[in-house]
Structure 1
């Protein structure tokens, strides 16, 4: 695919331009497209938020303290200045705004939504003049009725082209959709001489098809999803026929592969290649593009991406971070061709609201008061809600070493799940089967940064701490599987680790492409992980080395596990429903679907116990690798808990990148 021609940005270099407008307080400098547009040329700026996850305030409810890296109120403070840099602009949201922090849970589970109520995230968004939004996968976490009550309060439209009310039609344009697939905005734009011309801007939205798995309890029998790319191929020509001059895809989907993969979760690269789509805003992956996070270690771009030009499969594209951390910007230079417009130049940028200086976070902007005011009452109610104590813990709950040793934050989740499932199955045909429990660390640094860890001191445990232990509103489910399948479950989890060579020092331990929420620890068995063996499964569940076996010494009750013996494994609806593509773990194995969320079960467990003892029991460890050591990064506060780690020898190894601390494991 050919690239869009680009206009010369000199003498104002891109770097100088960004520096001049890095903060809201800086004097607005016109983007070169606005400054240099000629007659019949117009500059159109597309501003994007994505993956807000109810973060209105720059406040971390889990830590119960302000946080300069997040919050729509902070992002909003730069919108006016950014609008001032462009002659013409629109503001869109790319989904995942409704769930993701305790304010979202407070509204859904405590206050509720009556007809006519306006959700606080929608109140905040309404103050900013959004032009459109699409749905993300987390919009479905509280059910369709709740979602539509929320959408009803918005002063802007929602679009989604691949979510149907029933079976798929032979022609995607004949699907009975829940929302409009697209909208076409009729706007007037000023060209370089100040003359105004009409332009029709088409906005079309897409959600990952996997919502049918992730929220099956809400969607099965009520909805069906269509492939993102196929929906785009069907609807884009109709948008053109209807008169859209410019078509912008709102893709709540990660980049993925440039080539088409049927029903891909991350399909933005392939979608950008669809004829008729001019630009694409992306999200879902909690990353920012353009930027180094989409580059290899040698600085080269991932296939299909051009970070220098801000192109996604040859089209202008952007990914605007998460939680309000960035405002995504696509700048298009449009040229009038008769009565229509075409794109003749583009730039893109993910503009941050904070930066790290000398290992500390520094805010680049202040909060916008009217945005905070829109959700102030709910913010205060959320604070009161999350501070409610439910019990005590006799030991600290932290996740600093959750990826390298058995961990108390994962341990308490497993204890609660086991306690609950045993009680639920006591009068069923499964009552005599041994109960295991699978749980993963959700907060383990990574993209969330060096402060993104659970850290609860011994003493009172409040609802905010439980929410910190279990971030998602999953429901408890249990599967019945064999001992052999338990082993394969653990083989998949062990894919998070790189292969470690004997006799070699300081090898990187963690594969950053493998999400920590897929690193399941199974409690109730003991095992070791042999890192000298290559991973059997990759981050997406693909078989990499079929003959490899990293899981060794897998024992139940002190004896080698019987491959044929049946076990009940407590988990959540995401994993039991096939989330993460774990081998042979799918809805056919489910024997129990709870009405309760995992988080509610943890609260009830703590209330009943009064005081919990979450100390890790070291049921898993690494097998020795002769003469080898490995390094990993964790939060700087890990030093306060290193003495608690018993199953492996860990020592400080200096500073990591971006404020992380580096540690060494002697294997």
Structure 2
């Protein structure tokens, strides 16, 4: 599309006149409009395609976000496009490249190719960039036509953050040109600095331990921002792959966007990691967040959803005073690529950009072939619609495969002979992913795409050695998923919305019940709330009450064993086996060996009975086909919010 400046307030293009943003239309001779566009948490979603469901979708994909980006570039005279991390891992295309095709020197990763095609100006690293190891990461970054920055990951630590030898450059200062209200061009230096949660040292310990170190985000920012100013940055934009959490800075905090935004010298902040949208009502009650103004601690901020669902946008009106630029006004928003209508249908708001699609077409086709390979059969459906309220076949098969693997791995070791349990959680159980975000594998062939659907992340197998008390506390931690319910209460909302499904571990090998009338022992982050609380009742092993002093092995994954989720007993110190195999590969091997699997839940856990008490549970509408198979006293209770179906459970 060709364009030229026309009468005040409009841009003349080959497609007609486009209304300019007020900052562009009304800028004075010493003022300019600087537009900052953000993508975040793309997780390799270039095509608008659900590889797990093997179907096109309208709610994801950088190719669709690209259309928004091009529209916005047309609306303003000056714009920067920045990615906020977690682009390299997160769907089968990412796994196909990492595990099957590989990255040789000189190769370009498909998501990088798409970003190059779209003309990104810069990016930072997210925590998932480290999932495939440092060698894979660095080979992938080598193909980027744009700078990638991250300030708090160091190969060698110095006396302060500015003396560190960082893995990649901590920041970049872009020489940019802005056009003022009179049409004159001016040079402006835009400093971009990136941060990743220091928890990467736990989450990807196997890849990072002994190779890099991670610093506290806020501490690192305080050190570097004055240096960026000294080196000539007129405007500083923070690329925070860190969510919006507490306004009070604490050492090593994961979600540090609010205290970051409060630092002197920060002119705008891009956030991510949480897979949410800012500004939006999600953050209406957060200290330091002004949803109406689109600011954190008075600093313009945005978070553009996930998987390309939104494009974050910050508009700055900058003014030159002598030799200095300053922000005099700002607006923030997040533009979606789709919307859900009242009839639950999803409507695409933009079409995919053909150029971006073409840039990864070959890898898309290869990924489809990769995920469609059959590895065995199942004689019962595998679904996760009721995984949060009853023992579930999709979680059961993961537990069985983990148990099968760890039993083999511990033979001949000092741990052989200890009872082995297996902990697994549902990854796709609705929540922020929406009413279609569930595992649903029909009876029949099981393909790689189905295994990826059962186990969403490329975690590797681990085993921890724990006491019976730690087994109980592990389950108490999981039981924080549920709100407390008074006996006799009617239609209490069952699930705590702040508790992610991937932290709802079910432990196979023991039997137990969850007493919802009792308070939770732990909060959603795993912090102790009430040391005397006890929701786990009738806990038994091999038909007898569980011995709290006995020792057990729990089969799990590297995320959990590394401390992810803050589960009692799940630490690097209790880890006795670190497998070279991914949990996903283990499931494939198990299915291949068995040929046909029978993944029926064994109902080793349930809710304790509460006469005359009912709770409400929201799940995907497709769950209605499986209600009779769950073993709960349950009935439909109308529509839930945001396209979910609601069920009433009698306890």
Partner of 1:233: 222
Runs of 5+ in structure 1 lacking a partner? 1-11, 18-24, 296-300
Contact 2:384–2:426 (8 Å) recurs in 1: yes
SS, match of residue 586 in structure 1: coil
Contact 2:396–2:601 (8 Å) recurs in 1: yes
How far did 1:431 drift? 1.4
Partner of 2:317: 333
Q: Distance in 1 between matches of 2:177 and 2:35?
A: 13
Partner of 1:3: none
State yes or no: 1:449 paired with 2:434. yes
Name which of 62, 73, 87 aligns with 2:63: 73
Partner of 2:93: 103
SS, match of residue 336 in structure 1: strand
Structure 1 residue runs of 4 or more that deviate by more than 6 Å after TM superposition = none
Partner of 2:276: 287
Call closer, same or farther: CA 1:344–1:225 in 2, change over 3 Å: same
Partner of 1:276: 265
State yes or no: 1:154 paired with 2:138. no
Q: Deviations over 1:280-299 (max 9, x none)?
A: 0000000011112223xxxx
Aligned ranges 1:426-441 → 2 under 5 Å: 426-441=411-426
SS, match of residue 223 in structure 2: helix
Contact 1:28–1:82 (8 Å) recurs in 2: no
Q: Distance in 1 between matches of 2:70 and 2:45?
A: 20
How far did 1:26 drift? 11
Partner of 1:209: 198
Name which of 245, 259, 262 aligns with 2:234: 245
SS, match of residue 74 in structure 1: helix
Partner of 1:32: 22
Contact 1:500–1:625 (8 Å) recurs in 2: no
Partner of 1:114: 104
State yes or no: 1:54 paired with 2:44. yes
Partner of 2:641: 657
Q: Distance in 2 between matches of 1:469 and 1:337?
A: 58
Name which of 335, 347, 350 aligns with 1:351: 335
Runs of 5+ in structure 2 lacking a partner? 1-8
Partner of 1:136: 126
Contact 1:417–1:601 (8 Å) recurs in 2: yes
TM-score by length of 2: 0.97
State yes or no: 1:302 paired with 2:291. no
Aligned ranges 1:130-529 → 2 under 5 Å: 130-166=120-156, 168-295=157-284, 301-357=285-341, 358-529=343-514
SS, match of residue 205 in structure 1: strand
Contact 2:41–2:84 (8 Å) recurs in 1: yes
Q: Deviations over 1:96-140 (max 9, x none)?
A: 000000000000000001000001001100011111000000000
Q: Deviations over 1:574-593 (max 9, x none)?
A: 10111111123200100100
Contact 2:279–2:333 (8 Å) recurs in 1: yes
Q: Deviations over 1:553-589 (max 9, x none)?
A: 0000111000011111000001011111112320010
Q: Distance in 2 between matches of 1:324 and 1:636?
A: 24
Q: Distance in 1 between matches of 2:467 and 2:374?
A: 39
Contact 1:501–1:625 (8 Å) recurs in 2: no
TM-score by length of 1: 0.95
Aligned ranges 1:595-634 → 2 under 5 Å: 595-634=580-619
Question: Once superposed, what is the RMSD of the aligned Cα atoms?
Answer: 1.2
Aligned ranges 1:511-660 → 2 under 5 Å: 511-646=496-631, 648-660=632-644
Q: Deviations over 1:321-347 (max 9, x none)?
A: 000000000011111111111011111
Q: Deviations over 1:489-518 (max 9, x none)?
A: 000000011111112111111111111111
Partner of 2:54: 64
Q: Distance in 2 between matches of 1:631 and 1:618?
A: 21
